[in-house]
């Protein structure tokens, strides 16, 4: 079993504030509960998770009904929130997960964590194939990468050795900021960008490139699509609400 840290920092999002009248997007109502509640309930039901801690603004989290242990953190960037979540962690591995993935399930988490623990990687991240997403949650808005071994997207969590992340926060920040501008591939070594543009890159090559950039062993681990549907923009809220009400396989899993 591994502990989990839910990241609910990053400050208020003006677009979500205007659309829904709340600050952090994790507070937006999804099916009668704040978005973060769906994430916490999935973690609480996962057999692979020993305990859960939430990192974010304590007063807002308590006001939203979060009863889990809270580590107060109002950091405005990813590395500040990660540092608060990981410093003092004495476990070999920690599951670090964003607060904006309301379709995740305990079953999907258990399967993915077990696969990660079967690797020697310092950091594992989830990858989801186009085929599995279309079969279970068609229409999800994601960035897709056409690789030699298929079409994939990634999820918003990692299973990692705490010390490995803490020593590399500046590089993680660079990856995160360039990812938002869809320019992260420019940071990778060698002919990574060219091979990806031509569709010749493989998942294993992507993992090796990320390992070279970060200085630790990184592995892309296949996952169920529920781990990859996040709420990045205001329009994503309507989509996840519709999935929960649709009677789809995913809706049945989270009900």
CATH code, 146? 3.90.550.10
Rounded Cα gap, residues 127 and 49, in angstroms: 20
111-170 pLDDT, tens digit each: 999 999 999 999 999 999 999 999 999 999 999 999 999 999 999 899 999 998 888 888
Which candidate, 230, 126, 127, 123, places its Cα nearest to that of 169? 123
Write the CA distances from 93 to 25, 48, 238, integer angstroms.
27, 12, 34
Overall domain count for the chain = 1
Percent of the chain topping pLDDT 90? 64
Torsion angles phi and psi, residue 199, rounded to 5: 75, 20
Rounded Cα gap, residues 192 and 206, in angstroms: 8
Residue ranges in the chain whose pLDDT is less than 70:
10, 74-76, 88, 90, 180-181, 247-255
Q: Which residue has the tokens 């296949």?
A: 222
Q: What is the 3-state secondary structure (H, E, C) of 17-37?
A: HHHHCCCCHHHCEECCEEHHH
Strand partners, 218: 123
Contacts of 226 (CB under 8 A, 6+ apart): 101, 103, 104, 105, 108, 136, 137, 250, 253, 254
Record the pTM.
0.90
Q: Which domain holds residue 85?
A: 2-254
């Amino acid at each position: 079993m591994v502990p989990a840290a839910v990241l609910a920092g990053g400050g208020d999002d003006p677009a979500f504030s205007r659309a829904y009248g709340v600050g952090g997007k994790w507070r937006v109502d999804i099916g009668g509960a704040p978005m973060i509640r769906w994430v916490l309930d999935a973690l609480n039901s996962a057999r692979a998770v020993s305990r859960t801690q939430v990192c974010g603004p304590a007063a807002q989290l308590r006001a939203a009904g979060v009863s889990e242990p809270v580590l107060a953190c109002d950091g405005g960037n990813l590395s500040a929130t990660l540092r608060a979540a990981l410093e003092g962690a004495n476990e070999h591995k920690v599951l670090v997960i964003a607060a904006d993935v309301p379709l995740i399930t305990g079953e999907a988490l258990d399967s993915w964590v077990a696969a990660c623990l079967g690797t020697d990687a310092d950091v594992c991240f989830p990858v989801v194939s186009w085929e599995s997403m279309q079969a279970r949650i068609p229409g999800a808005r994601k960035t897709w990468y056409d690789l030699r071994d298929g079409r994939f997207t990634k999820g918003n969590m990692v299973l990692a050795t705490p010390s490995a992340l803490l020593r590399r926060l500046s590089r993680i920040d660079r990856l995160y900021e360039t990812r938002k501008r869809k320019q992260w591939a420019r940071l990778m070594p060698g002919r990574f960008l060219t091979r990806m543009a031509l569709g010749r890159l493989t998942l294993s090559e992507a993992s090796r490139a990320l390992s070279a950039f970060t200085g630790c062993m990184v592995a892309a681990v296949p996952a169920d699509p529920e781990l990859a549907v996040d709420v990045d923009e205001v329009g994503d809220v309507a989509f996840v609400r519709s999935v929960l009400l649709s009677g789809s396989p995913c809706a049945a899993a989270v009900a």
